[in-house]
């Protein structure tokens, strides 16, 4: 059999409630030349029964006997993929019907492109489409994401490295050979492995974008990233991915210092909002953990008086330092 043009990779773990519309959206694609590579990471909720209910020769299912984790499952998908191009679909998301077709036009028409992403919709737990994905970003980035483009390498890299990961995993498609040469997703960054790969792809090849929404990203109470957000893994990865990107910064991308400063400012804004929210909830251990991590990467945080005061007060159970010292 000839190799498929596209490998749709679907990492699956305990999302049985969302799997059927996810899978249906793949079979509904207007581009038929694809395989569907499903790697189930030891689900225990009936996901396998749903996947096996589809009788289509393009479906290839592999199941882990034990939980391996998201990044290992993503890389296993990449190892199994046989297509020239690879498109991931999270098991709680779904494609719009022309997703693959529209992005393949860009890849086939511009050989230097290594990555193509697209706009999409946020969706509720019920799957009802809500605001476009790009609406969550600042105005200048919304303008950038309002029209189709192809950016020669590495012109997209400074924008993509500046603190916002605006390439959603379910909206991306890339050349398998390039991703394999880059050794796929890094297990160093379990929360932000996708952002890290996009930065490495953008340093090597051109980046294309389709402004039309082509996927829907479901937000719900069981998103697997929530546990990592509670443990502080999100900030460890944001700082770690940024550090790695600036260490390998290509000269053709321009001076890295302005981009680094912008990235640290954006990460700092998110971190401070998180720290003060955790402090208000009385989670003083998380305050100290996250701020200690951040200062190692961004010493300028020590100049923020409110943050330093919050850190000190976190040792006294959320009371003010004066009240703690006076025994009240």
pLDDT score of 138 more than 50:
yes
pLDDT of residue 320: 44
| Mean pLDDT for the chain overall | 92
| C-alpha span between 129 and 56 (Å, rounded) | 28
Local confidence band at 303 (pLDDT 50, 70, 90 cut-offs):
confident
pLDDT score of 323 more than 60:
no
For the chain, how big is the Rg over CA atoms in Å?
A: 21
DSSP character for 299?
G
- Across the range 84-100, mean pLDDT stands at 97
The rounded percent of the chain whose pLDDT value lies above 90 is 78
Tokens 């030891």 locate to 42
- Across the range 120-135, mean pLDDT stands at 90
pLDDT score of 14 more than 90:
yes
| C-alpha span between 284 and 118 (Å, rounded) | 39
| Phi and psi at residue 318, to the nearest 5° | 90, -5
Closest CA to 287 of 266, 309, 304, 265: 309
Lowest average pLDDT, out of 115-129, 164-178, 252-266, goes to 115-129
Q: What is the pTM of this model?
A: 0.92
pLDDT of residue 1: 56
pLDDT of residue 2: 84
- Across the range 156-162, mean pLDDT stands at 98
Note the pLDDT tens digit of each residue in 203-238: 999 999 999 999 999 987 777 676 777 788 999 999
pLDDT score of 328 more than 60:
no
């Amino acid at each position: 059999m000839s190799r498929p043009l596209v490998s749709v990779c679907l990492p699956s773990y305990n999302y049985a409630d969302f799997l059927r519309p996810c899978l249906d959206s793949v079979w509904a694609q207007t581009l038929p030349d694809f395989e569907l590579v499903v790697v189930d990471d030891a689900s225990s909720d009936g996901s396998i029964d749903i996947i096996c209910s589809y009788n289509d020769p393009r479906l290839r299912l592999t199941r882990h006997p034990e939980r391996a984790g998201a990044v290992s499952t993503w890389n296993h998908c990449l190892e199994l993929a046989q297509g020239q191009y690879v498109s991931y679909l999270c098991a709680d998301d779904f494609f719009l019907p022309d997703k693959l077709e529209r992005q393949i036009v860009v890849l086939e028409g511009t050989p230097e492109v290594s990555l193509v992403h697209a706009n999409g919709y946020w969706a509720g737990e019920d799957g009802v489409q809500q605001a476009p994905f790009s609406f969550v970003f600042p105005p200048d980035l919304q303008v950038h994401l309002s029209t189709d483009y192809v950016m020669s390498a590495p012109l997209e890299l400074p924008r993509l490295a500046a603190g916002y990961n605006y390439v959603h995993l379910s909206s991306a498609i890339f050349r398998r050979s390039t991703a394999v040469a880059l050794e796929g997703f890094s297990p160093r960054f379990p929360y932000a492995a996708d952002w890290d790969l996009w930065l490495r792809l953008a340093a090597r090849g051109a980046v294309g974008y389709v402004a039309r929404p082509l996927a829907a990203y479901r937000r719900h109470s069981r998103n697997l990233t929530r546990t990592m957000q509670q443990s502080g893994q999100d900030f460890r990865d944001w700082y770690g991915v940024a550090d790695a990107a600036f260490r390998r910064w290509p000269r053709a991308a321009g001076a890295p210092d302005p981009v680094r400063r912008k990235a640290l400012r954006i990460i700092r804004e998110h971190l401070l909002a998180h720290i003060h929210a955790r402090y208000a909830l009385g989670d003083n251990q998380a305050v100290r953990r996250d701020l200690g991590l951040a200062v190692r990467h961004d010493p300028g945080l020590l100049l923020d008086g409110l943050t330093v005061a919050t850190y000190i007060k976190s040792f006294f159970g959320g009371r003010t330092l004066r009240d703690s010292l006076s025994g009240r």
